[in-house]
Amino acid sequence: MWRLNKVRHKAGGHANSLEELRTKRREKERALRQARRDRQLVSKRLLLNEDEEQDTMEVAPGEQDVVTLFQILHHGGTEKEAFLRPLSKALRDPSAQLTFIKLENSMHLLVGLLTGSDARCRLQAVRCLHELSHSPHTSVASACLPATPYLLTYLSGQSTKFTELCLYTLGNICPDSERVKERLLAQGIIPALAGCIQNHRHNLAVVEAAGFALFQLLQSKDAAQKVIPTVLASSLPSQLLSVLTPDPDFGLAPAIECAWCLHSLTSSSENHRELLAQGALRQCCSLLVSLGGAVADGNTDQGLELLVCPLLRCVGNLLSSCPAEALHSQLGGVDLVAPLCELVVALLHTLPALAKETAWVLNNLTAHSTESCSALLTLNLVPRLLELLPFSQGINTMVLRVLANVAHKKKEFCVRLAELGLLSALTATLKMADQNVVTLSLEVLFMIIVSCPQVCRA
């Protein structure tokens, strides 16, 4: 089964200090994705510089070091790369970042080196910009604006490391300022990202970075008006969907980034015609069934749930906007009912929040589809759902909604539900303290009684 690699794809040194730093940063990235699962979280990423062990110049990070290094670079010389390396290291200090952007012509110097003919200096200049983009000070992002047209231009390049740095730098400065976002949109960041993914579609490291940058862009308050329409009109949706096939060697990270982008798109409005037309529901369902089977079989790979979560939300949102008559063709033969039931049970004790989201998707599916309601009965899945009613945290509420959907569809379904023990289960839920559970239980009981006279006698 796929796994989220602990150590990324990049080649580099094997020193213990670098290995520890690499592991810590990957753990931090996993923590950021974990937090994103529960709420829309804008975060920044700092790529590990694996060439640091080659540095021979010892420079302690600090404001004075930044000033000294800037003066050396400003006055020329042939060994600029040797001073750019310690400058990027010094720029990790937040106070040094502020000092640097206040120096006259400091950003002009970096842009000049970024656009120069020396490839090594270009790489170190973008590394400096990347360190600046990770700053906690929002003013630093605006100071980076003179470099953004060149960063966007370089997205069409072939160097993996350089392109990654450009993408993560752009993604980092997106959340800090509406002015920055407006400028990036005007400069064509969306077509640039689309072109980048197209050119590097086989380079998953770059695809992951592009997904991160796009997600950051999609988190603006006015994204639904200013960003998402342009994204939907581009080739990005189809490209994001094409990434939803995790690579066994590289891991889940690119698919996770792209799935969260799709989640942002499906959460923006109630009309998803463009995404449905591109097969988004079928693609998301297919991967969800595959991952759900792995979870149900006991797979506990790190990061697996971080992909399941956005997929669940995508499927739930797409189901709610898919016309009932088109649902069968949109699913493309993917059977969702049984895998969703298995996934709810599998996640119940370890990840109850995801179990609730899975039940929510099942609710959206059964609300639209009589066939899905019938499948719950014919596959004898109702007893498994009844076993979930004692569980709180919103799980029993969602299960009751699913049962209400089934009861609402046909009188024959009500009879079958009664035969499968629904009445005794409702007797227990009616005694619960949760008012929503009691209300839903009464609604289901009412539908059963109206449809089945024999239930009244019982």
Q: Are residue 356 and residue 211 in the same domain, yes or no?
A: no
Q: Do 81 and 121 contact (CB within 8 A), yes or no? A: yes
Domain count, the chain: 2
Residue 402 lies in a domain: yes
Q: Of 162, 184, 219, which closes a domain?
A: 219
b/e code 261-275 from CB counts within 10 Å (16+ = b): bbbbbbbbeeebeeb
Which residue is associated with the tokens 């369902």? 285
List 234's β-bridge partners, or say none: none
Average confidence score pLDDT of the chain: 85
Tell me which residue range forms the domain holding 162: 63-219
Residue 365 lies in a domain: yes
Residue 36 lies in a domain: no
Q: Which of 5-14, 165-174, 241-250, 393-402 has the lowest mean pLDDT?
A: 5-14
Q: How open is the CA angle 228-207-195, to the nearest 5 degrees?
A: 60
CB-hemisphere CA count at 13 Å for 300?
Answer: 5
Residue 70 lies in a domain: yes
Which residue is associated with the tokens 């089934």? 406
What's the farthest any 2 CA atoms get from each other in the chain?
96
Please report which confidence band the pLDDT of residue 393 belongs to, taking 50, 70 and 90 as the band edges: confident
Q: Quote the distance between the C-alpha of residue 368 and its chain's center.
A: 27
Query: What is the Cα–Cα distance from 8 to 11, expressed in whole angstroms?
Result: 9
List the CATH number of the domain containing 391.
1.25.10.10
Model confidence pLDDT, tens digit, residues 360-383 = 999 999 998 899 999 999 999 999
Residue 285 lies in a domain: no
Percent of the chain's residues with pLDDT above 90? 57
Q: Of 219, 239, 274, which closes a domain?
A: 219
Residue 124 lies in a domain: yes
Q: Of 168, 190, 219, which closes a domain?
A: 219
Residue 4 lies in a domain: no
Please report which confidence band the pLDDT of residue 22 belongs to, taking 50, 70 and 90 as the band edges: low
Model confidence pLDDT, tens digit, residues 322-349 = 888 888 889 877 889 999 999 999 899 8
Is it the case that residue 190 has pLDDT exceeding 70?
A: yes
Query: What is the Cα–Cα distance from 367 to 405, expressed in whole angstroms?
Result: 5
| 303 conformational bin, left if phi > 0, alpha if psi -120 to 50, beta if neither | left
Residue 181 lies in a domain: yes
